[in-house]
Amino acid sequence: MSELHDECGVVAIYHLSTGEESPLCPPQGREEVSRLVPRMLLDLQNRGQLSAGITSWSPKRKQLIDTHKEVGTVTEVFHLNHREKYNRLMDEYSGQAAIGHVRYATCGQDDRSYAQPFERHHIKKYKWFSFAFNGQIANYDELKNKLLCDNNTYLARETDTEIIMHFLCAALKESDNGSDLLPVCQKLGASFDGAYSLVFLNARGEMFVARDPLGIKPLCYAFDGSLFAAASESVALFNLGFTADAIKSVVPGQMIIVNKNGIRIEQFMESPRTSHCFFEWVYFANVASTLDGKSVYLARKRLGEELAHQEKVPLDKDSIVVPVPDTSKAAADGMAYALNIPCLEGLIRNRYSGRTFIEGGEYRKRKAETKYTPLLEVLEGKRIFLVEDSIVRSTTMRVLIDRIRNVGKAKEIHVRVACPPITGPCFYGIDMSTYKELFATPFFEKRGKQFGDWILDSEIEEEMSKDIGADSLRFLPVKSISKAIGIPALNLCQACINADYPTEWGCKLARIAKENYDHGVNGRTYE
């Protein structure tokens, strides 16, 4: 799963001007709660390591809102290993309100201008704003063409973030001097098809956070009467000091408007159904998070138990479970406990080997070889049950199997995947937009059935196993996902494993992607 990535993570924080100062404030007080943003972003680093940024608001400085963003990890961007530089940065961007962002993306990788938050200057304070989002606008092409039909319009970047910025500008222009942000968000919701968790801050010190009507991407918030905070995941709020009971999920289609005097919760769009991305529990989210009331750790543990329930390979004293570090650990523990065999760390991950996911092709493979070190003392002569979150492109898995067999000298390698095969692209914020890049696609494709009618059987698993060099390979069935998470399948987005895309444009892009695949066309399907 080191080859699969989500787009981003967002945070927001605001201390009211009225009432008592929150005990969760930094030592510098309520007017510098922006200092909490780097800490929050560290807890979301799993969602993106390409760039990070902050926009803060302070009525006491000339730059009412100001943005700092750079390419790099949170530690690099905010100089967390250099006290003097960090303090200077926090002094410069101190404020009683702020939003932040961590990013992973497939375009504009090393370009600072693609980093978020996006700030838009204007002489009118309500039109001077900054925002950040997690997700992907599926009808990007439609909205881009709508904007570009005016010959005086120009888009500087190929990104849906810029599309959102222009639609925010248009909605604010039509508003009554920005007197109410609810209609602004309603206009966005009426235009966008896709997934988005959005944080917004303007030069009047007004903020809102919003979640798409299907709740595809997660968003949590907490409020102690003085301090409001929001983040993509609950762990960022819990580690600030909010109690678990105080942390709530933003309801799909809901926005929370915040200003210096208080907060207001509004439903900006009706939510016909929820469609939470199941991969949040399988892989993306921090294992310490709780999303929409469901523990990520417990979901992964139950996925491992589901693997154990379908195990048919004979067990003996040489049988051990080995997780692929790090996010497979909970599933591996669950499987091993249910089978009553040891779970040992036969692979050690080098956490300082670099961000291999931003590299491509053969270089990614060579980096993967140095990222995981097999332990000969653990693996030699053993029947290994290698537990992984998912197999998407198979690059990393092939390297691991080769290393475990030839360096670790394992007797057998049985790959167990705590997820069904990924057989379809995603258009809601995961970097897999074509059929061609997916490992499982050709094994089903040659059966002659349409995506959605593909059925996993032992024959397909055997073919896959031989292809990657394992002794056997087993995936979980689709039905195991909702059972493990504890959310009905109808309320989960599982489009990449069952072809049920929850939006109109998701269905449309899936058809285009399949046509492109059938005709040998490569690249993103919506360009």
Name beta bridge partners: 231: 11, 220
CA 396 to chain centre: 20
220 is catalytic: no
User: Could you tell me the strand order of the sheet in which 227-231 lies?
Assistant: 65-71, 51-57, 97-103, 8-15, 227-231, 220-223, 248-249
Q: 3-state DSSP call for residue 412? A: strand
Which DSSP symbol is given to 318? T
Instruction: Give the separation between CA 372 and CA 43, rounded to whole angstroms.
Output: 23
Give the number of C-alpha atoms closer than 13 A to the C-alpha of residue 437, restricted to the C-beta side.
Answer: 18
Q: Which residues contact 91 (CB under 8 A, 6 or more apart)?
A: none
Q: Which residues contact 373 (CB under 8 A, 6 or more apart)?
A: 347, 348, 349, 350
Q: Are strands 276-277 and 492-493 parallel, antiparallel or unpaired?
A: parallel
What b/e readout covers 234-256, taking b as 16+ CB neighbours within 10 angstroms? bbbbbbbbbeeeebebbbbbbbb
Can you list the positions of beta strands (E) in 280-382?
290-291, 294-295, 319-323, 347-349, 372-374
Give the number of C-alpha atoms closer than 13 A to the C-alpha of residue 518, restricted to the C-beta side.
Answer: 11
Which DSSP symbol is given to 419? S
H helix intervals, 242-320: 279, 296-309
Can you list the positions of beta strands (E) in 239-382?
248-249, 254-259, 262-267, 276-277, 290-291, 294-295, 319-323, 347-349, 372-374
Phi/psi-derived region of residue 102, left when phi > 0, alpha when psi is between -120 and 50, beta in every other case: beta
Count of CB atoms within 10 A of residue 14's CB? 29
Q: Which residues contact 507 (CB under 8 A, 6 or more apart)?
A: 501
Residue whose tokens read 């750079």:
70
Token pair, residue 402, equals 């080769």
Residue whose tokens read 């790099």:
72
Residue 36 contacts residue 43 (beta carbons within 8 Å): no
CA 356 to chain centre: 17
Residue 114 contacts residue 51 (beta carbons within 8 Å): yes
Instruction: Give the separation between CA 247 and CA 291, rounded to whole angstroms.
Output: 10
Catalytic residues: 8
